[in-house]
Structure 1
Amino acid sequence: MKQGSQAANVPACFISNHEGFLGTIKNFIEDFVVTEIDIDGQRVKTAAQTPGCASSDGNNKTSADCQENSHSSGSRDTDVSLEWGVDVPLTSLGSFDLGVILGQSVSEELEHFVLTLRDKKPTELELSLGSFTDKHQRANVHRAVRHRFPFLMTVTIQPEIRVREDPDYRELSQLVKEDEAEDFFRFIDAKVRGSSYTFGPDDNKDHRTAVHHFLNRKFGKLVETKSFNEQGRTSISVRLRERGRPKKRTADERKEEEVYTAFTLCKENLETLEAISYMAAALGVLPSDFTYAGIKDKRAITYQSMVVKKVSPQRLKEKTAEFDRRGMRLSQVRSVSEPLRLGRLQGNHFDLVVRDLRPHGASDTHSSGTDVHSRLAALVKEAVENVKTRGFVNYYGPQRFGSGQSVQSDRVGLALLKEDMVSGVRLFFTPEEGDDPQSHAKRHFLQTDNAKESLALMPLSKARERLMLRALNRYGTGPDGCAQAWLSLPHSMRVFYPHAYCSRVWNEAVAHRLATMGHSVRQGDLVWRREGHGKTEDSGETSAAQIHVVTDEEEQGAVYTLEQVLLPMPGNTVKYPENAMGTWYEERLARDGLDDCRFRVSSLKLNLPGCYRPLLAVPHNLNYQLQRAAKAEVGGAMTGGRKQDSLALTLNFDLDSSCYATICLREIMKCDP
C-alpha cells in the first residue's frame, strides 16, 4: 500500500503501488464535464452542442450520500386532524435569495429600511421594491419578503410593490416575545391546511386573555384560539378555522398545481442550489418545487435531470433564453407524472482532461522531450490499468469538508454534535487569510460580537452568513441566540456540517482498516451479501437488512472480496464491525468527546442515522487518450522555462453515485490533482 500527498481530511493511502504522475485539472471549465446516469443506467439526454454548454457526456459526483432529503413541499393539501397544541411545521422559504428576486441594490435598500424600522417608533415610512409585470413574480416577492421579514406588509399598486411596517405585528410583539410574533405571522401567511401554532407557556390569566382578545379581534375570521394545560403549564394554541381555509381552487388552479415538467439542466460554473434559486425566482415558484437526483459540482459543465412542479412545459420554454444568459441551458423539456427523488440515480459519467503531465519529482533537465513523453505514456498506462482492475479507496473528497477554508466544516459539525452552539458559530465565522469583504466581515464579528455591524459588512451574495448574522442580531450571541442562528439555515445546510464530521471519521476509519488489517477480508468485517449485490434502489449506500458479519469460516475460505467490505458512517442506526475496527470507532468518537453521542441534535432538528459505505469503488467503462498540448493550455503562459509542448490526458469513465472523480484521479496520479 502506497502513501502519497494528503489533502485535508483525505488520508494518503492508496490501493495500488504504481508511481503515478503530476498534472492539473480544471484549467478550463470544459476540462471537467459531468453527465448524470439515471436509475435505468442511461445518461441524461442532452441538447446538441451549443455555446455555453459543451456537448459532451459528463457528470459529477453527488453529495447526496448519506444525506436526508429535506425538500419541503410548497403547500399541504391534505386534511390533518390535530389536537390543540400539536403543531405542524410550516414550509421554509429560507432558500429564497432576495438578492436574486429583487436585485442586489433593492435587496440592500430593503435591509437598510428594515434596520431603520426596528430602531424607531411606529412610522408611515414606505419603500418601493419596484415594478413586477408577471403575476407569478409578484406572488414570489410577496411570499419571500413576508417570510423573511414578518413585521412588514407588502402592498401591490399594480405593477409596483411597496413595503411598510405591519401595525398588527407591532401590537402583537408588545404582548408576546418577538420571535413568537414572527413565527405566528409566518403561520398566518402560510395558511397551510391543518396547521396550528402554539405560543410559549403563559401562567398569567389576564395576559392570556389580552392575547386571546387581540387574536380574535384581528384574525377571528381566519383562526380560532384556545388555552390548554400541559404538565402544569398553560399555553395558547391557534389553528385555522374550517371556513378560514383558502378559498376553493378553480379547476385551472388545481390543474396547474398537479403539473410536473421534466428537463435536462446544463449548467456552467454554477452550484445546483444557486441555479435553482434563480429559476424559482424567475418562474414565481418555491425552490422546493424543483426536485433532482443529486447535487453537481460548481467548477464544471454538468448535465442533470430535474423536475419542476406547477410550471407547464410551455411556460418553462418561454424562460429558456433568460436562463441561458445566466449559464443554464434547458433541453428535453417535457411533461411527467411525478417529481424526482434525491439519490435516485445510478451514478455519473465523467469526461476529464488532465493537463501539463510530468513525472513525480523529476526536473527532466537532461532528458529529451521524446524520452519524457515515452516515460509518461508508460506511467499513465500502468496507472489506468491498475485502477481499472483494483479500483480506488472510496474516500469522501475534499469538497465534502469545504476545501480551501481556514476552518474545515467537519470541525463545525463536531461542535454541533456536542451541542456547543457558540463554538459552532465562532468556527463558522473563522475568516480566511487576507482582507476580502467576507473575511473582513467575519473578522469584525469575532472581534466585536456585533452582528448588526457585521451584517452591514457582509457581501449580499453570502446568503448563509447573512442569515446567521441576522438571527444573531435578533436573538443575541449567547447559546440560545446561536441555536436560533443555526435554525435560520435551511435543514440541508445545517445537516451538512455534522455529515462532514462523520465523513472525516469514515475516511480515517478506512485508512486505519487498510493499514492495520491489510487487503484481505477479516472475521468481524461487515460485507454485502453476494445475492443482489446489496445496494438499495435509491442510493449508493446499503440498508441494514443486507449487512452481514463475516465469520471465521468465511475468512478462512476467502468467501468475500475487499470490494464487498463496508464501513459504517457513524450514526444512531448503524452497527459497527465486530473486530478491532469496532473498538477503533468507539475510541475515535470518545477522543472527540462523543462517546455518549446519540447523533441527534434535537434543538437543531438534526438526526443522523448513519449508513454503510463500500471501502472500495471501481470506475466503469474507463478509457483514456494522451495528446500533445500547446503552451497556451498551461494557464496561457510559459512557466519556469518549461518546454512549450506537454502531454494532456483525456479520461472518460462512470462512477456509482456518491463516489468522487477527484479521488479516482488521486489514485491514478498518486497526488492531489
Structure 2
Amino acid sequence: METESLSPTVFGSLCYVSDHRGFFGTIKNSSADFVVTEIDVSGQLVTEVQARHEKSTEKSERNGAQDIIRKQRINPKDAERKGTTCEFTEFATDISGTGGSQVQTSDIVEDDCELDPCCLLYPVLDVHVQESLNQFACTVRSVWRSSVTANDLSELSLGLYPEKDERALIHSAVRQTFPFLVTFTKSSELFVKPNLDYQELCQLTSEKEADAFFKFLDAKLENSRFTFNPDDCKEHRTAVHHFISKKFGKLVETKSFSEKDISGLLRVCITVRFREKIGSSRKRNRTEDTEKQDVYTGFTLQKDNLETLEAISYLSCILGVLPSDFSYAGIKDKKAITYQAMVVKKVTPERLKQIDAMSEKKGMKIKNIHPVNKHLQLGHLSGNHFNIIVRDIQNHSDDLSVYVQERIEEAVYNIKTKGFLNYYGPQRFGKGQNCQSHDIGLALLKEEMERAVTLLLTPDSCEDPVNNAKQYFIETVDAKGTLALMPHYKIRERMVLRAINRYGMNNEGCVRAWLSLPHSSRIFYIHAFCSKVWNEAASYRFTLYGTKVVQGDLVDCNESANENSLVHIVTAEEEESSAYTIDQVVLPMPGYSIKYPTNKIGQWYSETLAKAGLQSCAFRVSSLQLNVPGCYRHILKYPHDLFYKLTFEDQAKGTENKIADAGVSLKPVFVVEFDLDSSCYATVCLREMMKCNF
C-alpha cells in the first residue's frame, strides 16, 4: 500500500524545534486514515454547518406544510396555550418575483411567540442570541399593546459580525422574522430596536397588515406588489397613501383599485409596488441580464483520494462550466477523505443536485447545497480539523531504551508546548523524483516557457501509464501521440498537450499551453517555488537564532500575517527588552510587495534568489497574467485541541475484538486528532512529533 512521504530533497535538511527522539510510523496507508474537515471563518466545521443547514431545510419544509393547514383551520388549543404573553404573526405569502406576484393579507394567520427559533434565523444566529432576540421582540409587542411609547424601549445587541455579507444576511433574516423591529450597525456590531414606522402604520391598519407590508418592503422582490385589505373609507385610504408616500415615497408608489369581492360588490383596495429605476432602460437591462447570469451556489464537497483541482475539473465537465467558475477557500490533500466549502458560478442549486449520483462514482459527494451571493476567496477559512491514524508505530532503530508509548507522550508534550516550524507541506511540491512543482515554478518565473512544459512532462523512473506517456513525449515531442497515451485523469498534462498539438512546441505555443490552464493551476507552480524558499529561510532562521527575537526580525503585531499585514522591523532596543516573542515573528514569502528582514536572514534571501537567477525578478509574469505580491507567514505554529491514544490495529479499524491468544501480537497504532490554523500542514506537524520524513 502506498504511503505518504515527504520528499528528502525538500524536507531532508530542514531543522526541528524540539530535540526529543520521536518515533517511526506510516501515514496515509489509506485515505480513511487521513480525514480533513475545513473550519469556516466562524470557527465551525463545514460538516456541522451542513448538518445545521439540512436541519433548517427540513424544518422549513415542515413549517411550509403547517402553513397550508393553518390557512384553513387554526387549532383552538393553540390560543389557550398557557404562558403566552404576546402574539406574533406568521405569514403564508407568495412573493415569487415573477409575473407580478401579490401579497394578500387575507392569507395571514396568527401564532404565538412561544415558538422554536425561526428557520430564517437558525442558520445565521446562535441559539442564545435567538432567545434574547425573541424575548426582546415579545417585550416590544407587549409594551406597544399596553400603550407605552416605544421610545422607552432600549436597543438590543446581536453581537459583532466583521463580514459585511454576514451582516446583510442577519439584517434580512431578522426583519423578515420580526418586521416590527429595525436593524442597524455600529462599526461591526449589529443592533435591533423597535420600528417606529411600523408602530405608526399600526394606527392605520391591523398588525397583520403592518407585518405583511414591512416584510414585502424588506424583501424588495422585482415585480412584486402588496395589496391592503379592502377599505371603503376614502379619508382612511388617503391617510394610508400619505403615510406611505411620506415614509417610503422614494422606494414605492401606491394606487387605489376597485375590485369585486366574493359577494360581487366593488371594494376599493390600496396596492403598493416598487418604483422603476430612473436611467437608460437599455443599459439597465444589460446590467440586469448580467446580474441574472451571475448565479452562485455554495456546497460542501466531500472527496476521497482526489486532488481538489481534479475534482473541480470533473465537476466542471459534467456541469458544462469552466473550472475557473469554481472557488474554494483552500486546497485539500489528495490521499485523504476531505470536506471543504465550495462555490460554483452560473449553476443553480437544482442543477447541482442533479449530478450528485454521477459525482459519487468519482469518489465525491455534494452536500449542503444552498444559494449564495458571491464566490469564495482563497484563504477564507479559519483552519482545518484532522483525524489521523499513524500505523506501524515503533521506536527509531537506534532507540531501544524506552517503550514507544513514552516517546509518543514526550512528542505530544513538546508539540503542545513548543509548537512546530510552520513549513509548507508536501502538497506544494508533489511526489516527482526527477522534477517537482517548485522546479516548474522557477522556470515560469524566469519566463522559460518551453523548459517549464518539458519539466511538467518529464517522467520518473517508475513504470506506469503516466510515465510511459511522458517518456514518449520527451523522446518524440509528439503531442498528439502522447495525448493518446496519457490517462484521462491527468487533467493538467492533457490540457497542455492539446495546446502544444495545436500551437507547437515553441515559446508562443508553450505560453498558450500554460494559459489553457486555470489561473489557480498556473500560480500554483510559482507558489511552490516561493514556498520552498520560505521553508529553507525558516530553517536557517531557527538554526541561527532559535526562539530569540533579534534585531532586524519582522514581527506581526496584529497576529494575522497575510498579504495586507503591516510588519514591524525589530530594533536593538526591542531586542534588548524582549518586546516581542517568537510567536510574533514572520518571514516573507517572496513577491513584489513585501519587505525582507534587515539582519542575516535578509542577506540569505538575497543570495538565494540570486543563485536561482532571480536577482532582478519582478515577480510578475505578464505573458501568463500572473502577479505574485508575496505574503508574510508566522514561523512558529501550535496544534489546537490535540487528543491522542495508542491503540492496536483492530481497535483502529473500529472493532472490539479481544486477544484470546497471548501469543498474538497486534501492531500499535497512533490515533491523533487536532485543529490547525489555515495554511498549516498536518504532515509538517506530524514530522515534528515523529522526527522523521516518513
Q: Does 1:534 align with 2:553?
A: no
Number of the residue aligned with 1:26: 28
Q: How does 1:488-637 map to 2 (within 5 A)?
A: 488-529=516-557, 532-535=558-561, 541-544=562-565, 546-630=566-650
SS at match of 2:36: strand
Report the Cα distance in structure 2 between the residues aligned to 1:43 and 1:392, rounded to whole angstroms. 23
Q: CA deviation at 1:668?
A: 0.5
* Residue type at the aligned position of 1:671: C
SS at match of 2:644: strand
Of 33, 37, 40, which residue of structure 2 is paired with 1:38?
Answer: 40
* Residue type at the aligned position of 1:13: C
Kindly tell me: are residues 283 and 21 of structure 1, through their superposed partners in 2, closer, same or farther at Cα, counting changes over 3 Å? same
What whole-Å deviation, never above 9, does each CA across 1:597-621 have from its counterpart, x for those lacking one?
1112222222111111111111111
Please give the TM-score of this superposition, normalised by the length of structure 1: 0.62
Kindly tell me: are residues 327 and 573 of structure 1, through their superposed partners in 2, closer, same or farther at Cα, counting changes over 3 Å? same
SS at match of 1:361: coil
Number of the residue aligned with 1:112: none
* Residue type at the aligned position of 1:624: Y
SS at match of 2:494: helix
What whole-Å deviation, never above 9, does each CA across 1:242-283 have from its counterpart, x for those lacking one?
xxx9997899x8786354332222211122222233333333
SS at match of 2:10: coil
On the 8 A contact 1:621/1:653 being kept in 2, the answer is yes
Q: CA deviation at 1:643?
A: 7.1
What whole-Å deviation, never above 9, does each CA across 1:158-193 have from its counterpart, x for those lacking one?
xxxxxxxxxxxxxxxxxxxxxxxxxxxxxxxxxxxx
Report the Cα distance in structure 2 between the residues aligned to 1:485 and 1:283, rounded to whole angstroms. 24
Number of the residue aligned with 1:221: none
On the 8 A contact 2:424/2:680 being kept in 1, the answer is yes
SS at match of 2:613: coil
Structural RMSD (CA): 2.9
Number of the residue aligned with 2:667: 646
Report the Cα distance in structure 2 between the residues aligned to 1:14 and 1:475, rounded to whole angstroms. 48
Structure in which a larger fraction of residues adopt helix: 2
SS at match of 1:45: helix
Report the Cα distance in structure 1 between the residues aligned to 2:309 and 2:422, rounded to whole angstroms. 25
Q: CA deviation at 1:390?
A: 1.1
On the 8 A contact 1:441/1:458 being kept in 2, the answer is yes
On the 8 A contact 2:563/2:629 being kept in 1, the answer is no
On the 8 A contact 2:324/2:519 being kept in 1, the answer is no
Quote the sequence identity (%): 53
Q: CA deviation at 1:395?
A: 0.7
Number of the residue aligned with 1:664: 685
Q: CA deviation at 1:592?
A: 1.4
Q: CA deviation at 1:575?
A: 0.4
What whole-Å deviation, never above 9, does each CA across 1:443-478 have from its counterpart, x for those lacking one?
222222333333333233322222222222333323
Relative CO higher for 1 or 2, CA cutoff 8 Å, sep ≥ 6? 1
* Residue type at the aligned position of 1:494: R
Kindly tell me: are residues 466 and 299 of structure 1, through their superposed partners in 2, closer, same or farther at Cα, counting changes over 3 Å? same
Of 291, 306, 330, which residue of structure 2 is paired with 1:270?
Answer: 306
Number of the residue aligned with 2:365: 329
Report the Cα distance in structure 2 between the residues aligned to 1:565 and 1:363, rounded to whole angstroms. 34
Q: Does 1:294 align with 2:330?
A: yes
Q: CA deviation at 1:35?
A: 0.8
Number of the residue aligned with 2:100: none
Q: CA deviation at 1:5?
A: 9.2
On the 8 A contact 1:256/1:312 being kept in 2, the answer is no
Bigger radius of gyration = 2
On the 8 A contact 1:5/1:12 being kept in 2, the answer is no
Report the Cα distance in structure 2 between the residues aligned to 1:334 and 1:631, rounded to whole angstroms. 38
Q: Does 1:388 align with 2:416?
A: yes
* Residue type at the aligned position of 1:17: D
Number of the residue aligned with 1:152: none
Number of the residue aligned with 1:13: 15
Kindly tell me: are residues 40 and 627 of structure 1, through their superposed partners in 2, closer, same or farther at Cα, counting changes over 3 Å? same
Report the Cα distance in structure 1 between the residues aligned to 2:631 and 2:338, rounded to whole angstroms. 27
On the 8 A contact 1:624/1:652 being kept in 2, the answer is yes
Runs (4 or more) in structure 1 with deviation over 4 Å come to 245-251, 253-256, 630-633
Structure 2 spans left out of the alignment, 5+ residues: 52-281, 654-662
On the 8 A contact 2:296/2:372 being kept in 1, the answer is yes
Q: CA deviation at 1:12?
A: 3.1
How many corresponding residue pairs? 449
Report the Cα distance in structure 2 between the residues aligned to 1:250 and 1:576, rounded to whole angstroms. 45
Of 352, 356, 361, which residue of structure 2 is paired with 1:316?
Answer: 352
* Residue type at the aligned position of 1:19: R
Please give the TM-score of this superposition, normalised by the length of structure 2: 0.60
Report the Cα distance in structure 2 between the residues aligned to 1:254 and 1:498, rounded to whole angstroms. 33
Q: CA deviation at 1:657?
A: 0.8
Report the Cα distance in structure 2 between the residues aligned to 1:409 and 1:301, rounded to whole angstroms. 23
On the 8 A contact 2:333/2:427 being kept in 1, the answer is no
Report the Cα distance in structure 1 between the residues aligned to 2:525 and 2:39, rounded to whole angstroms. 27
Kindly tell me: are residues 468 and 335 of structure 1, through their superposed partners in 2, closer, same or farther at Cα, counting changes over 3 Å? closer
Kindly tell me: are residues 589 and 311 of structure 1, through their superposed partners in 2, closer, same or farther at Cα, counting changes over 3 Å? closer
Q: How does 1:85-484 map to 2 (within 5 A)?
A: 257-361=293-397, 375-484=403-512
Report the Cα distance in structure 1 between the residues aligned to 2:346 and 2:501, rounded to whole angstroms. 36
Report the Cα distance in structure 2 between the residues aligned to 1:495 and 1:362, rounded to whole angstroms. 43
Kindly tell me: are residues 262 and 623 of structure 1, through their superposed partners in 2, closer, same or farther at Cα, counting changes over 3 Å? same
Structure 1 spans left out of the alignment, 5+ residues: 49-244, 365-371, 536-540, 634-641
On the 8 A contact 2:23/2:408 being kept in 1, the answer is yes
SS at match of 2:492: helix
Q: Judge which range, 273-282 or 502-511, deviates more.
A: 273-282
Q: CA deviation at 1:510?
A: 0.9
Kindly tell me: are residues 400 and 362 of structure 1, through their superposed partners in 2, closer, same or farther at Cα, counting changes over 3 Å? same
On the 8 A contact 1:20/1:383 being kept in 2, the answer is yes
What whole-Å deviation, never above 9, does each CA across 1:51-109 have from its counterpart, x for those lacking one?
xxxxxxxxxxxxxxxxxxxxxxxxxxxxxxxxxxxxxxxxxxxxxxxxxxxxxxxxxxx
Kindly tell me: are residues 608 and 250 of structure 1, through their superposed partners in 2, closer, same or farther at Cα, counting changes over 3 Å? closer
Report the Cα distance in structure 2 between the residues aligned to 1:382 and 1:434, rounded to whole angstroms. 39
Report the Cα distance in structure 1 between the residues aligned to 2:627 and 2:652, rounded to whole angstroms. 50
Q: CA deviation at 1:647?
A: 1.3
* Residue type at the aligned position of 2:682: A
On the 8 A contact 2:652/2:669 being kept in 1, the answer is no
What whole-Å deviation, never above 9, does each CA across 1:87-140 have from its counterpart, x for those lacking one?
xxxxxxxxxxxxxxxxxxxxxxxxxxxxxxxxxxxxxxxxxxxxxxxxxxxxxx
Kindly tell me: are residues 345 and 519 of structure 1, through their superposed partners in 2, closer, same or farther at Cα, counting changes over 3 Å? same
